[in-house]
Structure 1
Amino acid sequence: MNPVESLRTHRLLAIVRGNDPDAALRTVLTLAEEGIEAIEISLTTNEAPAVIARARAELGPEALVGAGTVRTAADAARAVDAGASYLVTPALVDVWQSAGIPEVPVLMGALSPSEVELALMRGACAIKLFPASLGGPAYLRALRDPFPEVPIVPVGGVDAVAAREYLGHGAIAVGVGSPLIGDAADGGDLGELRTRASAFRAAITRGTP
């Protein structure tokens, strides 16, 4: 399943970033055990390429393990080499400047209508609306009018309540970092992570139109 279809189905993109690579990997594996299909490992995570490679080895070739905070073509190359099956950028990025990098789907960061158009021109498979908290669900609702068919994933400040609102206003999914991950990727309690994952999945289900 490609990332857009998975996000349409499961409505949640988990964003993992942390200082402890072993804890980050445990976080990814726990999220997968809890039924969260799409997991993004931020390149700001310590030893991120190694974490991506280890997660890929543990979860198999079909798992939707992606790389986030991709800002340059060099970032894209490192992530794809490590096994990322999709890339997520914080802004407009020309990730395919370097020849020879296998192209994978890109969720490209954008905020304004002009940036959405540019992201689509650069081959984005979906738009990461970032930072979504700047305009909130009402801004997404306004943005959907000129872009009704564009897959949009709000990211930034999305808690369980906001997640339901974004989904109700036409987001295909929401991207969630610290409200879901907490301190798990820095060595925090995995039992608490499982509790948060369950709560978010329940909220997402209630928020599905």
Structure 2
Amino acid sequence: MTRSDEDRYIGWDAWGPWSECSRTCGGGASYSLRRCLNGGSCDGINIRYRTCSNMDCPAESGDFRAQQCSAHNDIKYQGVTYEWFPSPYDPSAPCALRCQTKGRSLTVELAPKVLDGTRCRADAFDMCISGVCQEVGCDRQLASGAREDNCGVCGGDGSTCRLVRGQALLHLTPEQCRCNLDLLLLSYPRCCSLISSTFQSRRSSSRMSLDI
């Protein structure tokens, strides 16, 4: 066996211990490293990741990305201090720390990468790790492919809820109504005080969804 053959045979060392989680709640990331024993010519990766601290944070702790923006409130930008808030989701740079000032008069990338464990966007579990948006399933595991079914059950087959059809007459204050009749998000400007609509819903013990 030649020296080159011996090097390829040796390959990787064992994986090292997992690092401390990047967050204490809300879903973070931990990594493990391994060392190539033959001078850097090993096939494969030298770092792997997993999710951790997946329990929800207390409501008063606030949004993780918003915390990172507000951390710059006391740092001058072009000689001026601002109050910073997360800018709207940008699919071209989901893991950059893009923040905007109050009133949205100024939008700036304050850091090329958000902290590990930051959600890529607010409506999904996908998270940023080392500046890259990684897919996270509803089970909060990396690349698991787990999705909620129509009943809101993670990994379910849609069999745990029943379809209900009927007519709903909803008495709402103007402040509770929005014009597109999205009745699950009743928090938009004044547009109506009474809605009468045919609906169908799927009921389960944990969630009801309406199709109107």
TM-score normalised by structure 1 residue count:
0.24
Say which structure is richer in strand.
2
Say which structure is richer in helix.
1
TM-score normalised by structure 2 residue count:
0.24
Rg larger in structure: 2
